[in-house]
Structure 1
Amino acid sequence: MSEPLQERINQAMAELEATQAAVARAQADLSQASATVRSKDRVVEATVGPQGELTGLKFVDNKHQNMTGPQLAASIMEAVQQGRAQMAQRVMNTFAPFTRPGPEGSVRRGLDLDWNRIFGSALDGGNQNGARRSGRNRLRDEIDEDID
């Protein structure tokens, strides 16, 4: 095996090991992460874990006692959806460096992740209007609509 090829293989292995270590650190950091959000009416406080799971729910100062069931449900849903959106954004920011190619001369190409597929409605805070969809998904939607 020629020396330049062996050097490139060694460099690629070192980059792979460094990337694996960085991903493991990011995963460990995120496993302890959470987002706590209050509803706009400041009645409900929801805590959401790194996978979008509800880990805590608090009714602030018993303000919920003067609400109807549907009002309280709306406040809960709003807080949970905002928490999920915050956690999704945090995960995306944490893993963003792995989606970009490495520096000049690097063998790292970067991952092509479909964040909308991974997080779904969490990215838009639960809004179904698709305002924050990527251009790729909007185009896919347009293509699907044309087929009908």
Structure 2
Amino acid sequence: MSESMEAKLAQAMAELTAVQEAVARAEGELGQASATIRSRDRAVEVTVGPQGELTALKFPDNKYLNMTGPQLASSVMEAVQEGRSRMARRVIEVFEPLTRAGGGGATGIRGVDIDWDRAFGSALDDPAGGRRRSTARLHDEIHEDTD
């Protein structure tokens, strides 16, 4: 093997090691991460883990006692969706620098293109943005219905 080829291989191995270490740090950082969210009506509080899983569900101040089933369901769905969205954005924030081609020198994974929308789906819906979530629409309909 030529000296040039050996140098390139050594550099590639060093980059691979750096990437593996950066991924391990990111996974460690996210391993215990969570997001705790209250619904807009403050009737429901949820905690969502790093993979979007629901890890806790609370009903502060027993506000749910004065709600109909659909209202409570809407509040739960709203809070869970917002929690999933926050965790998805956090995961992207942590891992995205590792996927930039050539970004960060030895920490960039060349040629990797992650489709974050495909990876997280509806968890990335932004309630303040252009796309409205169906749970937000249901929530609005319940509050506007005065019959």
TM-score range, shorter chain: 0.7 to 0.9
Which residue does 1:27 correspond to in 2?
A: 27
Residue 102 of structure 1 deviates from its aligned partner by 2.3
Written as runs of structure 1 = structure 2, the 5 A alignment for 1:1-148 is: 1-103=1-103, 108-124=109-125, 130=131
TM-score (norm 2): 0.80
Q: What is the rounded CA distance, in whole Å, between the counterparts of 1:58 and 1:105 in structure 2?
A: 45
SS in 2 for 1:36: strand
Q: What is the rounded CA distance, in whole Å, between the counterparts of 2:97 and 2:34 in structure 1?
A: 21
User: How many equivalent residue pairs?
Assistant: 130
One-letter amino acid of the structure 1 residue matched with residue 23 of structure 2: V
Deviation string 1:80-100 (CA, Å, 9 cap, x unpaired) is: 000000000001111011110
Q: What is the rounded CA distance, in whole Å, between the counterparts of 1:104 and 1:70 in structure 2?
A: 48
Which residue does 1:143 correspond to in 2?
A: none
Bigger Cα displacement from structure 2, 110-119 vs 88-97: 110-119
Q: What is the rounded CA distance, in whole Å, between the counterparts of 1:120 and 1:27 in structure 2?
A: 21
Q: Could you list the runs of 4 or more consecutive aligned residues of structure 1 that deviate by over 4 angstroms after TM superposition?
A: 103-108
Shift in alpha-carbon separation, 1:68–1:105, aligned structure 2, 3 A: closer
Deviation string 1:125-147 (CA, Å, 9 cap, x unpaired) is: 589x757xxxxxxxxxxxxxxxx
Query: Is the contact between residue 42 and residue 60 of structure 2 (CA under 8 Å) also seen in structure 1?
Result: yes
Query: Is the contact between residue 43 and residue 75 of structure 2 (CA under 8 Å) also seen in structure 1?
Result: yes
Deviation string 1:58-80 (CA, Å, 9 cap, x unpaired) is: 11111111111110110000000
Identity %: 62
Unmatched runs of 5 consecutive residues or more in structure 1: 132-148
Q: What is the rounded CA distance, in whole Å, between the counterparts of 1:57 and 1:73 in structure 2?
A: 12
Q: What is the rounded CA distance, in whole Å, between the counterparts of 1:87 and 1:100 in structure 2?
A: 20
